[in-house]
Amino acid sequence: MNSVYTVSQLNQYIKTLLERDRELTALYVQGEISNYKAHSSGHHYFSLKDRESTIRCVMFRREAASLRFRPENGMKVMAFGRVSAFPRDGQYQLYCTALTPDGVGDLHVAFEQLKEKLYREGLFDPAHKKPLPPYPRRIALITSPVGAAVRDMIRILGARWPMAEIFVMPVRVQGAEAAGEISAALQWANRHQVADLIITGRGGGSMEDLWAFNEEVVARAIYHSRIPVISAVGHEPDVTIADFVADQRAATPSNAAELAVPDQNEEGARLAQLRARMVQTMGRRLERAGKELERASRCRALQDPMNYVDDKRMVLDYQRDKLAAGLTAAMGREREGFARLAAKLDALSPLKVLGRGYAIPQKEDGGVVRSVTDVASGDSLRLRMADGEIPCKVI
């Protein structure tokens, strides 16, 4: 007799069958990500597909938290997990516990993704790079307190520029806590202004060993640092995100120490050269000044100052005589002009007419009588003569 199942019983039975198959409890599945979605709960939902098929996948928050890269649609990956069914939907799916990019390591993908993100945000822009102080007085080393890297930096800094004070800020440079400690040290150094230059880094190692300097929290701490930062991570071929963000990238920690401070021997030689040039220049100036003084000492004005004064007195007398002659000639010309104008004015004067026997009748208010109509019988007038006035009355 055939059994009768409810839908829930059937889905649960299929789930049990799938989970009993040892082949399906731990397997790798290769495919391309599609329909990727990171839920607000922290779970990741996506599908894996090839040319012919698709399987639904889920990666829960606990496993997704360990991802070093950000899954994207179209990315070829290798997923590890188990196959089971979700009874509510009646669909089987792959429950992923690990996810790695196919063909390249997850660290490499994470590096490229973060590099692209920070580049778009402008953290690598040369405009944000701060110049290194030419003569730092205090240098903070944010690195492991043990190992060859810190010893090499202290040795080289002391040999090249012993005037600088070295301040070691010990942090872990490897492991899960390293990135947090490095970023916290950078923030603390800026908050308390413990130095005018920071060197952060470590010696060489694998990409996993250097990964703390590829973390976003460290990159942003370097970017926001008001104190110039030199990144000194690994060896010459090693490149980290910190190198792109830092104000100066050094190939090695030893190279960072060389970039941080000048060489006291070179500076001494340069000062000696400047001193020699200064002595030479001053010698030439003194020589020129001596020759000028010698020429000046032969000057007649200095040998006999009264001769110079006498010469100037003669020039003054000549100028005074010339000025007096000029004034006399000018006054003569002005007198002649005045006489001509006076003669013209005298010729036009009405007094001349009066001198020939004519008179000017004037009213009491001084107005001149020009017509018989200007007066009436009984008006008083004055006749202006050449030598006086005659009072008159009109009859």
In sequence order, which residues have a C-beta less than 8 Å from that of residue 87 and are 6 or more positions away? 8, 11, 12, 15
CA 37 to chain centre: 41
Average pLDDT, stretch 125-144? Answer: 95
Q: How many residues would you count in the chain?
A: 395
Residue 6, pLDDT above cutoff 70: yes
Task: State how far the Cα of 342 lies from the Cα of 348, in Å rounded to an integer.
Answer: 10
Rama region for 193: left / alpha / beta (φ>0; ψ in -120 to 50; rest): left
- Per-residue model confidence (pLDDT) at position 313: 83
SS3 372: helix
Average pLDDT, stretch 175-181? Answer: 92
Question: What is the band of 364 on the pLDDT scale with cuts at 50, 70, 90?
Answer: confident
Task: State how far the Cα of 93 lies from the Cα of 96, in Å rounded to an integer.
Answer: 9
Lowest mean pLDDT among 90-94, 194-198, 268-272, 300-304: 300-304
Question: What is the band of 200 on the pLDDT scale with cuts at 50, 70, 90?
Answer: very high
- Per-residue model confidence (pLDDT) at position 246: 96
- Tell me which of 72 and 133 has the higher pLDDT: 133
Q: Render pLDDT for 302-341 as a digit per residue (tens, 0 to 9).
A: 667 777 777 788 888 888 889 998 898 899 889 888 888 8
**In the structure encoding, which two tokens stand for residue 63, read together?**
């496993």
Average pLDDT, stretch 176-201? Answer: 95
Q: Nearest 10 degrees: CA dihedral of 149, 150, 156, 162?
A: 170
DSSP 215: S
- Per-residue model confidence (pLDDT) at position 103: 61
In sequence order, which residues have a C-beta less than 8 Å from that of residue 18 and are 6 or more positions away? 24, 83, 84, 85, 92
Lowest mean pLDDT among 81-85, 87-91, 328-332: 87-91
Average pLDDT, stretch 23-28? Answer: 85
**In the structure encoding, which two tokens stand for residue 301, read together?**
């004005």
- Per-residue model confidence (pLDDT) at position 353: 67
- Tell me which of 258 and 9 has the higher pLDDT: 258
Look-up: residue for tokens 């020039």?
A: 315
- Tell me which of 26 and 127 has the higher pLDDT: 127
- Tell me which of 269 and 370 has the higher pLDDT: 269
**In the structure encoding, which two tokens stand for residue 172, read together?**
């872990």
- Per-residue model confidence (pLDDT) at position 299: 73
Average pLDDT, stretch 57-85? Answer: 86
Task: State how far the Cα of 394 lies from the Cα of 372, in Å rounded to an integer.
Answer: 10
Task: State how far the Cα of 83 lies from the Cα of 58, in Å rounded to an integer.
Answer: 10
Instruction: Indicate the residue type of 222.
Output: I
Mean pLDDT of the chain: 87
Task: State how far the Cα of 101 lies from the Cα of 168, in Å rounded to an integer.
Answer: 39
Residue 256, pLDDT above cutoff 90: yes
Angle 216-223/178-192 helices, nearest 10 degrees? 10
**Burial class (CB within 10 angstroms; exposed 0-12, middle 13-18, buried 19+) of 170:** middle
In sequence order, which residues have a C-beta less than 8 Å from that of residue 325 and are 6 or more positions away? none
- Tell me which of 269 and 23 has the higher pLDDT: 269
| Cα distance from N-terminal residue to C-terminal residue, the chain | 177
- Per-residue model confidence (pLDDT) at position 164: 95
Average pLDDT, stretch 119-145? Answer: 95
CA distances from 385 to 336, 339, 365 (A): 32, 26, 17
Full-model pTM: 0.56
Average pLDDT, stretch 105-113? Answer: 75
- Tell me which of 295 and 131 has the higher pLDDT: 131
**Burial class (CB within 10 angstroms; exposed 0-12, middle 13-18, buried 19+) of 128:** exposed
Average pLDDT, stretch 91-108? Answer: 79
Question: What is the band of 197 on the pLDDT scale with cuts at 50, 70, 90?
Answer: very high
Average pLDDT, stretch 165-194? Answer: 95
Whether the Cβ atoms of residue 308 and residue 300 lie closer than 8 Å to each other: yes
- Per-residue model confidence (pLDDT) at position 355: 65
Whether the Cβ atoms of residue 30 and residue 55 lie closer than 8 Å to each other: no
CA distances from 357 to 51, 121, 351, 387 (A): 145, 116, 10, 10
Q: Nearest 10 degrees: CA dihedral of 93, 97, 100, 105?
A: -170
Residue 351, pLDDT above cutoff 70: no
Q: Render pLDDT for 223-246 as a digit per residue (tens, 0 to 9).
A: 999 999 999 998 888 889 999 999
